[in-house]
Amino acid sequence: MKDHGITNTASNGCILDIRIQREKLRERLNLEVVLTRGLRLLGLCLCMFIVVVYAAILEADSSGRLGLLKTYKTLFALDDLKDMRTPEEFSEYLALVSKNSRALMPASSNYFVEQVPRV
């Protein structure tokens, strides 16, 4: 009977050991699933970041390619704004802006030939 009791204790130890290993395996699989989901989200965020940076680079370059900044500076005399000191200079500047803004309007009369009536 002593042998039977020792064998029984040894088999209980093995069963306990197998249960512990199963729990460790289950925990590891759960951690791997969480890690996989996290890496997937990280990859998605990285892709979106790359797209946003690329769009920002294109957007910054587009005004230079189109020459918009140069056009607005020359047409509206933006560099002269810092030199204005009196209200008269400011009203003259507003008149210039009003006159030059017609050149930027697509429906401006500057782009259409006015019909002169014939006699």
Q: How far is CA 27 from CA 17, 40, 88, in A?
A: 15, 20, 79
Token duo for residue 31: 């951690």
Q: Kindly report the pTM of this predicted structure.
A: 0.38
According to the model, what pLDDT value does residue 4 have? 45
pLDDT tens figures, 4-34? 444 445 556 677 788 888 889 999 999 999 9
Domain ranges of the chain: 1-49
Phi–psi pair at 114, nearest 5 degrees: -80, 135
- 40-74: per-residue pLDDT in tens? 999 999 999 999 999 888 877 666 666 777 777 77
Place of tokens 């047409």: 75
Identify the burial level of 96 via C-beta atoms within 10 angstroms of its C-beta, where 0-12 means exposed, 13-18 middle and 19 or more buried. Answer: middle
How distant is the alpha carbon of residue 7 from its chain centre? Answer: 67
State pLDDT tens for residues 67-93.
777 777 777 887 777 788 888 888 888
